[in-house]
């Protein structure tokens, strides 16, 4: 599938709703980014985009980026140090693996929603909402592209 077709096939509203639901259960932040063009290494690209998108500026360093590079047919998930230190080794790879079946079958939105839910579960476990405390949305929920 061509990258433009991938982007057109995404249901942004459904993905943003999944992000909102996941973030409502925790103090963490989730972003989805669709890379334009080829990437040689999805994890390195995700780390660079993580920085570029300002995801290191969350109060508790608990942001997570899900990167999809359709032209390279690559995916990566990276978390800031606050959440990364709390997740078991290999967790991000497990999230990526969980997406593969849906992505390979052309169910792009479903694959991303699966990843968002898994990340949301980890954030809720390690950064649960605090009773009586109002949480603010530190990062946009909209899918970024670039």
Residue-level pLDDT at 6 = 80
Structure tokens given for 102: 């849906």
Q: Return d(Cα 30, Cα 50) in angstroms, integer.
A: 11
pLDDT band per the 50, 70, 90 thresholds, residue 3 = low
Residue-level pLDDT at 8 = 83
Range of the domain at 48: 3-129+136-145
Q: Return d(Cα 143, Cα 146) in angstroms, integer.
A: 10
The enclosing domain of 85 has a CATH number of: 3.10.310.50
Sheet holding 29-34, edge to edge: 74-79, 63-69, 29-34, 144-145
Domain count, the chain: 1
Q: Return d(Cα 56, Cα 74) in angstroms, integer.
A: 23
Residue 12 dihedral angles phi and psi, to the nearest 5°: -55, -40
Task: Round the average pLDDT of the chain to a whole number and report it.
Answer: 93
Residue 79 dihedral angles phi and psi, to the nearest 5°: -120, 150
């Amino acid at each position: 599938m061509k990258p433009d077709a991938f982007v057109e096939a995404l249901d942004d509203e459904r993905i943003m709703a999944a992000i909102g639901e996941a973030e409502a259960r925790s103090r963490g932040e989730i972003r989805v980014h669709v890379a334009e063009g080829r990437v040689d290494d999805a994890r390195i690209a995700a780390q660079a985009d993580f920085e570029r998108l300002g995801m290191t500026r969350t109060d508790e360093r608990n942001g997570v980026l899900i990167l999809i590079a359709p032209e390279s047919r690559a995916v990566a998930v990276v978390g800031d140090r606050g959440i990364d230190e709390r997740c078991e080794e290999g967790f991000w790879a497990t999230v990526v693996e969980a997406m593969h079946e849906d992505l390979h079958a052309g169910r792009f939105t479903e694959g991303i929603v699966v990843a968002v839910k898994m990340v949301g579960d980890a954030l809720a476990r390690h950064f649960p909402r605090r009773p009586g405390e109002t949480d603010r949305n530190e990062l946009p929920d909209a899918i970024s592209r670039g």
